[in-house]
Amino acid sequence: MKKFRESLKRRKTKPHLRESVANNCTSEPEVDGMGGPIWDGVSKGNAAKNDKKPGKKPNVEQCRRWQESLENVLHDPKGEAHFLRFLKKEFCSENFEFWKDVKQLKKKKPEGEKLKKDVKIIYDEYIGDSASKQINVNGKLKVAIRDTIDEPYIEMFDDAQKFVIQLMRDGPYRRFIDEDNLQEILKGHG
């Protein structure tokens, strides 16, 4: 594991995937105290029109965008599909699945009993003590969410969603954008 981490630190990007795509971004992201982008998982993406359908192989430009930020991966249907496939291979898809379920909850905007039901499903699947896909959030956050289950609101998972985005950004995302992995994806093997 130590050698793997060291190899990531030494990683050099290949010229054909190195070009910046900053001018393709739709807006500047809001940043947290550590300079990382804050993202709610609901705002519109910056995938090009012809990139919207999650086909098998992305193009080189999409892979370049993916290297720019985790948000670019998550805004692109092909990026989402390949990232989820990658996470499943690494046995760590629960953070992504939680993020996606919360994103869907926000998109549906349920109210009343439907909101209570949907929130309870997410809580039971990802946060509760006997959750089948338990995400790794701190105890304080778990308690705060548990305490709002009876009177839920649509943004109650925001902090947990930001937390799992940061976990994915710091771990699996870095491995996902590794040159060897992206080359396999471009070949149709990823």
Condensed to tens digits (0 to 9), the pLDDT of residues 60-85 reads: 999 999 999 999 999 999 999 999 99
Q: How far apart are CA 75 and CA 52, in angstroms?
A: 9
The amino acid present at 127, given as its one-letter code, is I
pTM for this predicted structure: 0.69
Tokens for 59? Answer: 């193009």
pLDDT tens by residue, 120-159: 999 999 999 999 999 989 899 999 999 999 999 999 999 9
Measure the CA angle with vertex 82, ends 80 and 88; round to 5°.
100
pLDDT of 135 reads 94
Give the confidence band of 55 by pLDDT, cuts at 50, 70, 90: low
